Chain A
Amino acid sequence: MSRNRLNEKTFQTLKQKMAEGLLPQWVVTDPEIYELELEEIFGHTWQFLAHESELKEPGSYVTRWMVNDPVLLVKTNSGELKAFLNSCTHRGSHLCTADAGNRKTFTCAYHGWSYNLEGDLIGIVAGDKVYGQEMKKDEWSLRRIPKIGIYQGMIFGNLDPKAMPLEEYLGDMKWYFDMLLGRSDGGMEVRGVPQRWVAHANWKMTSENFAADPYHVQTTHRSTVELGISPKDPLYAGYGHQVVLGHGHGINVITSATGRSAYRFQGLPESMWPMFERNLCPEQVDILSRTTVFVGGVFPNLSFVSPIHGTEGHLHNYLNFRVWRPLGPEKVEVWCWFMIDKAAPEEYKEEAYKGYIGSFGPSGTLEQDDTEIWARIVQASRGIMARDKELSYNNLCNYLMGFDRVEPDNTFPGPGIAYPTCYLDALSRSMHEYWLELLTRDLSGAE
């Protein structure tokens, strides 16, 4: 057996290195780790599927993916949301191949079996003539995604029937979701459909880059500093708090050197401020009013950013959610949703959308350079030296920023462990610790 295969010792070394703030580089794109991640992480954690505003009428549906599991998410006649494996129960053919639409029934193109919005098998071509007692129709309904959960309009699915409830999984992230998604009457709405493209990247690094790493902003996005769009102070993305939450989740609350944003309530129209004060608790109002950028994530592969941006000289706020769908150890399909307060003035929504197109998504002047960096990580992580599990080349990634030095700030008004800077690896370390916990859950004593 190759000395490079995974074994218990490998995981012990990993754990020991991670306790020292170091992550061996071989884990980034290791194919065996990847297979294990699909089973142990994506098979058990809550994954984002859609926002409620994408499914307006009974019969509305969207098709999504939980890594390699095709998902059909429908709104039934009673207005309930149901999620099924998007695969015919007869021969397993991919049932609905459109991205979205509205239907009363779904019919398989292979032999014509059809299902209603409840997933019941309601039609079998020539059923009476070709099947006898062997066919019990009610045993061949579409397979339900074992668990579905909704929080503040965000619809998640889980492939593990024994998974903890969504609300328990989100934990303290709910408080921050309430602030971002529940600040306005009517919540948020998705504009159009999610943008989709493929990046050369590993899902762990994109998740970490977005959720946990304001430190990269000053260098990766330096072009915007050169243009005069971003501040010159190299610490600008570090002011504020990095908040570590349970289950690998977290958020960066980026303010400014003074602790207050130059744009109160992220520059949202003043007419909306009383609404925020009505919908939120005083601590949430305080944080929302003085923050410039929120950026964070829900483990494993949902990230979000709520910045202020614009391409025409004036700045607007929006909320961008994204899913990093793994397509392999070195590839992710990025799904990117533009969301905006339903209650915002139409003119503001339009400007915010333009601000989004100019900054994030595949054409965004910020995100373009992120994609380049992600590719540079995977292309340098597949060699013998980078992947040496014996660590004889000291092939370790450095997660030492603030390690053992930066103490939590107990005066921060929100839940979670809040550190008084966003230039910190605390959240990245917490994500990787939860990652390892899930990977090794079933491995105790295994060789």
Chain B
Amino acid sequence: MNRELHCHITQFLTRETYLLDHRKYEEWLDMLADDIVYRMPMRVTKEAKDGPNLVEEMTFFEETKKSLTTRVNRLRTSSAWVDNPAPRQRHFITNILVEQGSQPNEWQVRSCFLFMRSRGSDIDVEQLFGERLDVIRNANEEWKIASRTIYPDQAVLGVMNLSMFL
């Protein structure tokens, strides 16, 4: 994988983080391909003999561009109380690993995420962490997220809701 491509994709994800942290959700939607598959399967605690501890059958997110747009539109109403007053949020994206995807213009990108949120005057910090598996596509000189799967590391989420995007 050449250094320039890695740098490009890293920049792309960093820009995405900036948009999410600053609630520029409409601009964020523009980074998503129209056919995006956006999912968040569940983590469970399993015995080693029972294989992977991920559940794909039940999820926290099972989204299309349309349903993500609905979620963004909801956050823009005056009565989405989780975001009014809005908590402060930061997405930290690290360990970015880029590999060639199944199409010539697609790359499979793994990253780790740490999401932290501060609500009102609460001293306790809400956090969520895990891994993301993205397919990032370059079409007509434009980069888009073609799919994203978010794997949380917690079996019991330590956040009071998932009003954010990861």
- Tell me whether A223 and B77 are in contact (CB under 8 A): yes
With a cutoff of 8 Å between Cβ atoms, the chain B residues found around residue A362 in the complex are 60, 157, 159-162
CB distance from A310 to the nearest CB of B (A): 9
CB distance from B127 to the nearest CB of A (A): 12
| Residue among A225, A227, A361, A363 with the highest chain B CB neighbour number at 10 A | A363
* Docked CA distance A97–B45 (Å): 8
A-B contact count (CB 8 A): 122
With a cutoff of 8 Å between Cβ atoms, the chain B residues found around residue A219 in the complex are 79
CB distance from B108 to the nearest CB of A (A): 25
Once A200-B160, A333-B156 are accepted as A-B contacts, the answer to whether A193 and B74 lie under 8 Å apart by CB is no
With a cutoff of 8 Å between Cβ atoms, the chain A residues found around residue B71 in the complex are 365
**Number of A interface residues, CB 8 Å?**
45
Once A220-B81, A224-B74, A357-B62 are accepted as A-B contacts, the answer to whether A192 and B46 lie under 8 Å apart by CB is no
Closest B residue, CB atoms, query A224: B74
Other-chain residue from A333, A338, A369 in contact with B81 (beta carbon distance below 8 A): A369
With a cutoff of 8 Å between Cβ atoms, the chain A residues found around residue B73 in the complex are 227
Instruction: List which A366-404 residues lie within 8 A (CB) of chain B.
Output: 367-369, 371-373, 375, 379
Assess whether A353 is interfacial by the CB under 8 Å rule: yes
Binds B, one of A98-106, A153-161, A418-426: A98-106
CB distance from B85 to the nearest CB of A (A): 10
Closest A residue, CB atoms, query B79: A222
| B67-98 to A contact mask, C-beta < 8 Å, 1/0 | 10011011001111110000000000000000
- Tell me whether B50 and A338 are in contact (CB under 8 A): no
- Tell me whether B82 and A312 are in contact (CB under 8 A): no
Instruction: List which A233-291 residues lie within 8 A (CB) of chain B.
Output: none
With a cutoff of 8 Å between Cβ atoms, the chain A residues found around residue B80 in the complex are 223, 368-369
Assess whether B4 is interfacial by the CB under 8 Å rule: no
Instruction: List which B114-166 residues lie within 8 A (CB) of chain A.
Output: 119-120, 155-163
CB distance from A318 to the nearest CB of B (A): 12
Assess whether B42 is interfacial by the CB under 8 Å rule: yes
Once A362-B157, A368-B163 are accepted as A-B contacts, the answer to whether A226 and B79 lie under 8 Å apart by CB is yes
Binds A, one of B5-13, B16-24, B26-34, B51-59: B51-59
**Number of B interface residues, CB 8 Å?**
39
- Tell me whether A372 and B81 are in contact (CB under 8 A): yes
| A172-212 to B contact mask, C-beta < 8 Å, 1/0 | 00000000000000000001111111111000000000000
- Tell me whether B60 and A367 are in contact (CB under 8 A): no
- Tell me whether B156 and A198 are in contact (CB under 8 A): yes
- Tell me whether B158 and A227 are in contact (CB under 8 A): no
Assess whether A358 is interfacial by the CB under 8 Å rule: yes
- Tell me whether B162 and A363 are in contact (CB under 8 A): yes
| Residue among A192, A373, A379 with the highest chain B CB neighbour number at 10 A | A192
* Docked CA distance A164–B40 (Å): 42
Once A192-B42, A196-B157, A198-B157 are accepted as A-B contacts, the answer to whether A369 and B70 lie under 8 Å apart by CB is no
Assess whether B15 is interfacial by the CB under 8 Å rule: no
Other-chain residue from A102, A225, A311, A338 in contact with B70 (beta carbon distance below 8 A): A311
- Tell me whether B67 and A195 are in contact (CB under 8 A): no
Other than the known A362-B161, A363-B40, A365-B70, what 12 A-B pairs have Cβ atoms closer than 8 Å? A99-B46, A99-B155, A192-B55, A192-B57, A193-B57, A193-B58, A200-B160, A223-B81, A358-B70, A371-B82, A372-B160, A379-B120
Measuring CB to CB, which residues of chain B are less than 8 angstroms from any residue of chain A?
Answer: 40, 42, 44-47, 50, 55, 57-64, 66-67, 70-71, 73-74, 77-82, 119-120, 155-163
Measuring CB to CB, which residues of chain A are less than 8 angstroms from any residue of chain B?
Answer: 97-103, 191-200, 219-220, 222-227, 311-312, 333, 338, 353-354, 357-358, 361-363, 365, 367-369, 371-373, 375, 379
Residue pairs across A and B with Cβ atoms less than 8 A apart, 27 shown, are A98-B46, A99-B155, A100-B44, A192-B58, A193-B42, A198-B159, A198-B160, A199-B160, A200-B160, A222-B79, A223-B77, A223-B80, A225-B79, A227-B74, A311-B70, A312-B64, A312-B66, A338-B58, A353-B58, A357-B59, A361-B60, A362-B157, A362-B162, A365-B71, A368-B80, A373-B81, A375-B119
